[in-house]
Amino acid sequence: MVFKFKEKLISEINNLKMDDLINLSLVGSFQYANSLNVVNDVDIIIIVNQLTSEIYSKINSKFITLAESLTTDEINIIVENRIGPLKPQIPCSGKVVQLHLLIYDLETWKNRKRKTVSFDWVNFCKFFFGTPLKDLTPLKELKKEDLIQDWDINKSNILNRSAFSRVYFEDSGMMVYKKKSLPLSKEEYAEGIIYNVLVSFLNYLRYIDPSIIKQKEVLLENGVLHLSKKYSDFMVEIYELKSFLRNGNDLAPKEISLLRKSACDFIDYLYSLLESK
Residue (of 69, 65, 57) closest to 19 by Cα position: 57
- In the listed set 107, 136, 165, which residue is the last one of a domain according to the structure? 136
Helix/strand/coil for 220 = helix
Q: Please tell me which residue, 193 or 93, carries the higher pLDDT value.
A: 193
pLDDT at 29: 81
Mean local confidence (pLDDT), 61-74: 93
When the pLDDT of each residue in the chain is averaged and rounded to a whole number, the result is: 90
Clarify whether residues 94 and 186 are in a common domain: no
Any idea which of 2-11, 52-61, 69-78 has the lowest mean pLDDT? 2-11
Residues 32 and 127 in one domain: yes
**Is the pLDDT confidence value at 189 over 80?**
yes
Cβ-contact 116, 205 below 8 angstroms: no
Measured distance CA(229)–CA(72) in Å, rounded:
44
24 and 108 assigned to the same domain: yes
pLDDT in tens, 25-63: 989 888 878 788 888 889 999 999 999 999 999 999 999
Residues 159-181: pLDDT tens digits?
Answer: 999 888 888 899 999 999 888 88
Residues 260 and 230 in one domain: yes
Domain boundary among 119, 136, 153: 136
Domain boundary among 136, 158, 178: 136
- Provide mean pLDDT across the span 134-159: 95
Task: Kindly report the number of other CB atoms within 10 A of residue 157's CB atom.
Answer: 20
pLDDT exceeds cutoff 70 at 255: yes
Helix pair 115-123, 186-208: axis angle to 10 deg = 70
Q: Which domain does 222 fall in, by range? A: 144-275
Same domain? 154 vs 247: yes
Q: Percentage of the chain surpassing pLDDT 70?
A: 99
Give the C-alpha separation, 109 to 125, whole Å.
15
What does the pLDDT read at residue 250?
Answer: 86
DSSP three-state, residue 189: helix
| pLDDT above 80: residue 11 | yes
Question: Which residues, at least 6 apart from 81, have a Cβ–Cβ distance to it below 8 Å?
Answer: 60, 101, 103, 168
pLDDT at 2 over 70: no
Q: 105 by DSSP, 3-state: which?
A: strand
Instruction: Please tell me the predicted confidence (pLDDT) of residue 181.
Output: 84
112: alpha, beta or left? (left if phi > 0; alpha if psi -120 to 50): beta
- The pLDDT value recorded for residue 1 is 62
